[in-house]
Amino acid sequence: MPSDADDDRFSALRTTRMEAFSDGVFAVAITLLVLEISVPAGSEDDLLRAVGDQWPSYLAYVVSFATVGAVWLGHSAMTNYLHHVDDLFLRLNLLLLLVVGFLPFPTRLLAQTIGHDAGGKVAATLYGCSLLAAASLLSVLWSYARRRALVQRDAAGHETSVVTRRLTPGLAFYAVMIVLGLFLPVAAVFGYLAIAVFYLAPVHLLRRRSTSVG
């Protein structure tokens, strides 16, 4: 009969493999983003202008890079407190990675159509829905881990509470930006960037700000 130590080693192995696979998907997705940036062929005679004309690609790249980075930071914080994972958690994690791996596609659409009226609105809406899905799935993963007691038993309550607050996707903010994208796509994209920057901000800076406000 397997001992408790054997169970712990098996659980740790599953967690380690999940983290390694997840990091690989995040790395591939974030690398694919930059591959979408290019200048049209035959632009050698006016290369500076051609490079400047690609500003939608730069904007989409920065927003997507920041968002993927924020999701990765949240995923890392979450897995840092996991004691083990179960089968459903692994499948939920795959759903998150599915969305993360999909992000280069709406990023490219956004870069190609942000200057157009109808196309830009559709692309901004699809882009916002993709970001919302990634943030929501990350929050669902953490909520499930806490309900199923997958979190380490010796984890301090205040520490897990900080993770919970940081993983809250801010559904209202994303919903507002998605609606805004139907009218002002560029403004919505900057809104998505602001959300990502908030999640990228170090926790101690947010604590200091909340303390000074209080």
Write down the pLDDT at residue 154: 67
Compute and round to an integer the Cα radius of gyration of the chain: 20
Domains of the chain: 4-37+47-213 (1.20.1410)
The residues that bridge with 82 in the sheet, in sequence order, are 151
Task: Please report the pLDDT score of residue 159 as a whole number.
Answer: 63
The sign of the torsion formed by the CA atoms of 196, 166, 86, 23 equals positive
pLDDT at 11: 56
Mean pLDDT, consecutive 10-residue segments, the chain of 214 residues? Answer: 50 79 96 86 80 89 94 91 90 97 95 85 95 93 91 68 69 90 94 91 51 41
DSSP 112-171: HHTTSHHHHHHHHHHHHHHHHHHHHHHHHHHHHHHHTT-B-TT--HHHHHHHHHHH---H
pLDDT of residue 47: 86
Q: Which pLDDT value is given to residue 210?
A: 38
